[in-house]
Chains A and B, each alone.
Chain A
């Protein structure tokens, strides 16, 4: 037989792991399988390695459960924003210090310069966001900073629309209303006048944020993504914040906090928020 002697168990050694990982070309795979049929010890060795491989994959969800402290999320987000500000304001010294306590980390940040939006090529963003979907990402509780919350929602907004772009899902209003009722006990009738506002309903998602779920309704207007979030059992003061190239209009209604988030001028986001407030009581 040509090639390395597979009768020698030592020859099979370097092939075991790529075989278990399904990384071998077909001919090498056939060789190792031939050898295993004739060699019970090597077969057992492969079986053992595969069992561990399969076990870790099966438990991967639990092993990779989010565990990073909320303060770490906040601090790293700050680093991102400071880096962005440094890029936008090159004359400014780029001194970056580690905040050593969570409270400092969660302090409100200076507004992100609007010039980000000009620098961002829309097509590049679209291509990138699809990749964001694949990343394991769960939001952590950030109670002390509305700005941090808005930033995380902005990331979620980008991620969810990227997912929608990849899956091309499109929900009817009745389906969205039903999922909001069953998922959040939120009896809501979506505004009938959405089309007149130029809003096209994309769908809804139960997104993860903090330790619970938040309702996320997605619209598009002229192709531009617009998100409406409802955070149950959360209270925030009314304000509009600018973060990560987006604006978030935030208000509270009873025990629910609402956020309208979009890459639109502030006036436009506030107008949409007013429309949502009037329509979705």
Chain B
């Protein structure tokens, strides 16, 4: 992952690189909030905090990951402040409900052809339908391409939990897409 070496906090280059992450921050905010107006507010607040706290950014670390951490912290704080069900990460309950897929179940064939034929809008819908905890983990890993450690920092969870959420999320997606296919066939 890119390291923002030599980046001067508060410099035009810092701000330009920070703003270059706006689209990915907004996409991720949309996955978190599902409401465009809330996602916009979240991204704005993230940038406000980032620019105000630019001095706390450590040169040599990943600026994009730093921004995503602010985004997720802000989202969590909003839940606490507003007691709203925006990021309802009752992850333990979710993970209890979604046990690891039994080996071999529904996976006797790889279905890779089916998956290759899945269009982006269907995939997006399937991702959006995932329980929050898995949606975040899969999105941050597979779309935004953060490392396990970076995601662990952002979500304030152990790396092992990050991996298990990615795994569960992918398997849920596999089953969901297969199910959708069986309905369409």
Contact = CB atoms under 8 A, between A and B. Distances in A.
Given A60-B142, A64-B24, A98-B44, A120 B103 contact: no
Contacts of A53: 142, 170
A45 B8 CA distance: 46
A42 B103 contact: yes
Nearest to A138: B23
Interface stretch (A66-74, A187-195, A215-223): A66-74
Contacts of A123: 6
A61 B8 CA distance: 31
A134 interface: yes
Contacts of A44: 103-104, 107-110
Contacts of A63: 27, 120, 123-124, 127, 143
Interface size class of A (residues with CB under 8 A): 35 or more
B6 to A, nearest CB: 4
Contacts of B171: 45, 48-49, 52
A127 B43 contact: no
Main SS of the interface on chain A? helix
B112 A124 contact: no
A120 B11 contact: yes
Interface string A15-38: 011101101000000000000000
A128 B7 contact: yes
A56 B171 CA distance: 13
B10 A132 contact: no
Contact of A18 (B44, B54, B119, B163): B163
Contact of A124 (B13, B21, B27): B13
A121 interface: yes
Nearest to B107: A44
B11 A64 contact: no
Contacts of A62: 120, 124
A48 B141 contact: no
A103 interface: no
Nearest to B100: A13
Contacts of A67: 23, 26-27, 30
B112 A59 contact: no
Given A41-B103, A63-B123, A136-B24, A116 B11 contact: yes
A199 interface: no
B8 A76 contact: no
Given A67-B30, A80-B47, A87 B10 contact: yes
Interface in B26-80: 26-27, 30, 36, 40-41, 43-44, 47-48, 51-52, 54, 63-64
A54 B13 contact: no
A57 interface: yes
B16 A68 contact: no
A41 B108 CA distance: 7
A152 to B, nearest CB: 9
B104 to A, nearest CB: 3
Contacts of A120: 8, 11-13
30 contacts: A9-B103, A14-B163, A44-B107, A44-B109, A48-B101, A48-B107, A48-B110, A48-B171, A49-B174, A55-B118, A60-B143, A62-B120, A68-B22, A73-B19, A79-B51, A80-B15, A80-B51, A83-B10, A83-B15, A116-B11, A119-B11, A120-B8, A121-B6, A121-B8, A124-B7, A131-B17, A134-B2, A135-B24, A136-B23, A136-B24
Interface of A: 9, 13-14, 16-18, 20-21, 23, 39-42, 44-45, 47-49, 51-60, 62-64, 66-69, 72-73, 75-77, 79-80, 82-84, 87, 94, 96, 98, 116, 119-121, 123-125, 127-129, 131-132, 134-138, 154-155, 158-159, 244-245
Given A40-B104, A54-B115, A129-B13, 9 more contacts: A45-B101, A48-B101, A49-B171, A64-B23, A72-B43, A98-B41, A125-B13, A137-B22, A158-B16
